[in-house]
Amino acid sequence: MSTSTLPENPTSVRDDRILLQTRLVLIVVIPFLLLAFLILYFFPDLSGERFAWGIKPHMTALFMGSGYLGGAYMFVFAVFGKRWHRIKAAFPPVTVFTVAMMLVTVIHWDRFDINHFPFQLWLGLYIITPFLVPYLWIKNRVTDPGTPEPDDLAVPALAKWAFMAFGVIGIGMAIFMIISPQTMISIWPWTLSPLTARILGGWFGLLGVGGFYAGQDSRWSAWRMPLQSITFWGILILIGAFMNPQDFTNGVWNPFTIGTAVVIVLLSAFQVGMELQRKRTVWVGGAGSGESGALNA
């Protein structure tokens, strides 16, 4: 039989769809992320009972909880979304994060109680997800046609280079925090232990890989959701800082919180600017093609 009559592999069709297996896995994962957020952000004093281990001070717990909600925000769009390329940027950084969490767990094994059920959940998740997340990315990435959406914009080259540079810095910081946590402990604005310094290193690894990976794509539609997630995360961290000013050794306004505020402003301004430009381009394009009767009414 001629190979031309063979049915095409459905997963190789570049129709930009999100595969069912990707949606199903994320449906299972999202409740764990939301639960972690609720415990760490609103009940950090109960982390020893309801999370994998007791986390102090509150700012570490709130930093982590904010990140988990940012991830849930992104994954909810993946469950209900229609286009893979809009959410694909979440998967490589999450892969790096899950590997880092498993590595840190092994390094600090003596800090955990294997009989503690929340730790058993933590351990199970970070044994499975370092393999499951990249598997989903590999399987689903072939559906990305690599083409812009009809009303898409090209991300400016300067923004792409800036995000890749930020990514390199984030990755370097993550490696440094994992290899040499004591150095970071001495300069961090709130108290860290070797365990929590390395945990935060995993979060910076997520941000770094996310920034570098996003810089490889020129489509604004591929940037929108990841940037919303990171901005949301940053806002929650800043709110958490003002909820817990006593956690900071040199006052709530310090290089970390100031830098976070600056990043939030820059990201928000960039997103608003790109959206205004996109809408203006769509309006002009519609007017120019004779499709603006309703627009001009």
Residue 76's closest CA among 130, 38, 33? 33
3-class SS at 108?
A: coil
Dist. CA 284–CA 129, nearest whole Å: 45
φ/ψ of residue 172, rounded to 5: -65, -40
Dist. CA 206–CA 233, nearest whole Å: 12
Question: Taking the domains of the chain in order of start, what are their residue ranges?
Answer: 15-284
Mean pLDDT calculated for residue range 145-163:
94
Residue 228's closest CA among 245, 210, 243? 210
Mean pLDDT calculated for residue range 100-120:
97
Mean pLDDT calculated for residue range 70-86:
94
Residue 7 has pLDDT above 50, yes or no: no
Residue 292 has pLDDT above 70, yes or no: no
pLDDT band, very low/low/confident/very high, at 285 (cuts 50, 70, 90): very low
Dist. CA 211–CA 162, nearest whole Å: 9
Dist. CA 45–CA 38, nearest whole Å: 12
172 or 3: which leads in pLDDT: 172
The predicted pLDDT at position 250 comes to: 87
Residue 94's closest CA among 210, 196, 174, 229? 210
Dist. CA 202–CA 101, nearest whole Å: 6
283 or 232: which leads in pLDDT: 232
pLDDT band, very low/low/confident/very high, at 282 (cuts 50, 70, 90): low
Whole-number mean pLDDT of the chain? 90
- 240-280 pLDDT per residue, tens: 999 999 999 988 999 999 999 999 999 999 999 999 998 88
